[in-house]
Amino acid sequence: MTGPVDIGGISDQLAAQQIELPSWAFGNSGTRFKVFATPGTPRDPYEKIADAAQVHKHTGLAPTVALHIPWDHVDDFGDLRRHAEAHGVRLGTINSNTFQDDDYKFGALTHVDPAVRQKAIDHHLQCIDVMHQTGSRDLKIWLAEGSNYPGQEDMRSRQDRLHDSLSTIYDRLGPDQRLVLEYKFFEPSFYHTDVPDWGTSYVQVAALGDRAVVCLDTGHHAPGTNIEFIVMQLLRLGKLGSFDFNSRFYADDDLIVGAADPFQLFRILVEVIRGGGYANPDVAFMLDQCHNIEDKIPGQIRSVLNVQEMTARALLLDRVALTAAQEAHDVLAANAIFMDAFQTDVRPALAAWREARGLPGDPMRAYLDSGYQRQIADERVGGVQAGWGA
């Protein structure tokens, strides 16, 4: 498209967008070799939520914050919930952790030892107790389980044990709560991973019931994977429960969403909209990123704006013309219509759209000018900064 872009026709749809922020993105992170500290990093969940609220304040896109247990453990989750609401946000997804305990070296929910499995199950039941206090709907499970060498483990038995463990957890959910099972191609297990792909996740959740769904992390795929096809299929099957948006160049890099391949993000959102997954309460959008070298809050602002921009482009896709070209087998016309939407510069129109709603036209500049980054760097002196494991 050339000339000024009119987004008035998609205004209401844009206003419905919500992107959940991960609490851990505001803590320190790094590589396998080094975790880098930065001035102003939160020291507890309360400060993480205060920082997350800045993203929502400047963008209007991020009204909820996901928690990670035990990293975000507090004595009174009701008080944490009130703290979030006082800052204009809510608590969202509860993420479990069965990958930082010595007992889980050879598996947690899949472990051959019933005592270890029960310990992992009990952790998830505790997470459900937290959900009752925070008002959270989703329990998201990612399992760092598998094996490194052929013959090391009985892969089929591990799938059976996983089903049994997940069934126990699922049965404890409240009537309005969901189990969301994430998958990951590899790492830390390099020969086989117990939930390595969308098919395995789908098979496991389908066996549990209607309130068990799949989480698709955009970085958790082999190079060259057609992620939008997976999105389409899971929406078609009614089992796409949530996204973890991030980006990667080589493996699971957890970079700012859209940084490596904006076109891929656009293609994904086209299928989300096509399949009825946009502005759908049953399909949650969330970020899952590690800001290793950039400031945390601006990194999250950049991320949600990237999602918003590609959403606007996807909403502007002329689907009537596209369908006509597809049905006529006009390959070049169909591709041209698709690319025309992707190449549309919606940034000036989005800036005006934000200002019309009382938001900064340039959220990044507004945040940098607010002085909040300098304030937290000056005030958060002493204590232990949050990071992996806290």
Q: Average pLDDT of 38-53?
A: 96
| Residues 161 and 117 sit within 8 Å (Cβ to Cβ) | yes
Q: What angle do CA 165, 171, 173 make, to 5 degrees?
A: 110
| Residues 96 and 69 sit within 8 Å (Cβ to Cβ) | yes
Give the separation between CA 239 and CA 11, rounded to whole angstroms.
28
The DSSP 8-state label assigned to residue 343 in this structure reads: T
Whether the predicted pLDDT of 137 surpasses 90: yes
- HEC readout, 309-333: HHHHHHHCCCHHHHHHHHHCCCHHH
User: DSSP letter string over 265-313?
Assistant: HHHHHHHHHHTT-TT-TTSEEEE----SSS-HHHHHHHHHHHHHHHHHH
Residue 390's pLDDT is 58
pTM (two decimals): 0.96
Residue 29's pLDDT is 86
Q: Average pLDDT of 323-347?
A: 98
Q: Average pLDDT of 139-146?
A: 98
Q: What is the pLDDT of residues 176-213, one digit of tens each?
A: 999 999 999 999 999 999 999 999 999 999 999 999 99
Residue 285's pLDDT is 98
Which among 40, 108, 97, 38 is positioned nearest to 66, based on CA atoms? 97
Q: What is the pLDDT of residues 256-270, one digit of tens each?
A: 999 999 999 999 999
Question: 3-state DSSP: the chain helix, strand, coil percent, rounded to 5?
Answer: 45, 10, 40
Give the separation between CA 85 and CA 143, rounded to whole angstroms.
31
Superfamily designation of domain 17-379: Divalent-metal-dependent TIM barrel enzymes (3.20.20.150)
